[in-house]
Amino acid sequence: MRFETAAIHAGQPPDPTTGSVIVPIYATSNFVRTSIDQTDGYEYSRVSNPTRAAAETCLATLEGARYALLFGSGMAAETAVLGLFKPGDHVVCTRDVYGGTVSLMNRIAPQRGIQVSYVNALDPQQVADAIQPNTRMLWLESPTNPLTYVLETPALVEIAKAHGLLTVFDNTFATPYLQNPLQWGVDIVVHSVTKYLGGHSDIIGGALVYNRDDLHDPLWDQQAVGGGILSPFESWLLLRGMKTLAVRMRAHCENAMAVARFLEEHPKVERVLYPGLPSHPHHERAKRLMRGFGGMVAVYLKTDRAGVNRFCTGMRYFRLASSLGGVESLVGYPATMSHSSLTPEERAAQGITDNLVRLSVGIEHIDDLIADLDSALAAL
């Protein structure tokens, strides 16, 4: 099956009871057992649910994986990964990473006795130098949030494997439509399905996707025993969202490229970071590793914080909001939203300045989006 076909059909045969072409929402906590010794089939919806199972099968197919587990949020999925480790273990994490991941590494990991070191993963040698005898995991994200940097992931995976590390990769920005990190040897792919996979800004969820049989029981324990599961209704919404992922991502990519080109030429814009632009420092790498450049654009404006606020609140179609990846266009302010948990010094080190905004370019008509941006920039 090609991607578009798998998104619609994988894990989603017609309902055997009614013939429904759409997987039902199995809003039940219990399932009748056939005997006191039943060991297969559905028993209790925290442990397994048919709607969630269908969504997990579909997502695993899109990532080219054996397994997918769905959680109540992206952060719940990330927290489940930490459950694989014990006190005294050490993690190497890319410096340019989602702010929620930083909060996890800075707040939850130390509570569990897990040590974390941040490195500039754009330099593979820095990653290699950060590995200690007790290092157990390398955490990567590409393209990065919010600056859209693109890592040389295959080389980083080689380093991790040489040291026996688990490699975890956040694929939220790119989605399975644009890249499949498991093909590079990544062990676990993380998604916030809240974003592009759901695609309509109406669910909160997360996922872990992987191929390794030896990881399945430990991660299943984190999901089923930990209990941070995705509900049947949100699993159903995710199935609906994934059906149109391919066509949505093509539209996101097309609009984001047009927006990036417009902004790059605008006199009130200092700098634009979008992997599809030849001016992006990792453009050639993105061309080699990705099948498209995504819908996220980082923009440095030629103004102060007050001017940025006027820009963010002065548009009709780009709504000021914290999330991303929906069909509607959004503008975010990383300093007080996605990366508010970082100290001012940490934000400065990552290039998250007061004049940086993050655009999640939606699938509206491009002429309306360009006019919206042009009007807001004129007010600066």
Catalytic residue among 67, 118, 187, 195: 195
- CB-based burial of residue 6 (10 Å sphere; 0-12 exposed, 13-18 middle, 19+ buried)? buried
Residue type, 339: H
Q: Residue 54's domain is classified under what CATH number?
A: 3.40.640.10
User: pTM to 2 decimals?
Assistant: 0.97
250 assigned to active site: no
Rounded mean pLDDT, 205-209: 98
| 46 in catalytic set | yes
Q: How far is 133 from 138, CA to CA, in rounded Å?
A: 13
The answer to whether residues 71 and 154 belong to one domain is yes
The answer on 224 and 286 residing in a single domain is: no
Instruction: Find the range with the poorest average confidence among 37-46, 180-189, 190-199, 261-270.
Output: 37-46
**Same domain membership, residue 267 and residue 218:** no
Catalytic residue among 42, 46, 240, 261, which?
46
Domain boundary among 195, 218, 243: 243
Dump pLDDT digits (tens) for 79-129: 999 999 999 999 999 999 999 999 999 999 999 999 999 999 999 999 999
- 120 and 142 fall within a common domain: yes
Q: Which of 243, 276, 294 is the last residue of a domain?
A: 243
238 and 252: one domain?
A: no
Query: Do residues 214 and 330 both lie within one domain?
Result: no
| pLDDT at residue 343 tops 90 | no
- How many structural domains does the chain have? 2
Please tell me whether residues 323 and 287 are part of one structural domain: yes
Tell me: do 10 and 66 sit in the same domain.
yes
Q: What is the pLDDT of residues 292-327, one digit of tens each?
A: 999 999 999 999 999 999 999 999 999 999 999 999
The residue segments making up the domain with residue 253 are 246-378
Residues 265 and 239 in one domain: no
Instruction: Give the per-residue pLDDT at 44.
Output: 95
- Clarify whether 26 is annotated catalytic: no
Looking at residue 40, its pLDDT comes to 85
* Catalytic site residue from 98, 118, 149, 196: 98
Is residue 300 among the annotated active site residues?
no
Domain co-membership, 99 together with 189 = yes
Q: Average pLDDT in the 54-79 region? A: 98
Helix axes 366-378, 305-313, angle to 10 degrees: 140
Instruction: Choose the final residue of a domain: 198, 225, 243.
Output: 243
Least trusted range by pLDDT, from 33-37, 196-200, 263-267: 33-37
Q: Are residues 239 and 255 in the same domain?
A: no
Average pLDDT, the chain: 97
- What is the CATH classification number for the domain harbouring 290? 3.90.1150.10
Q: Which of 89, 96, 170, 354 is catalytic?
A: 170
Do 209 and 285 fall within a single domain? Answer: no
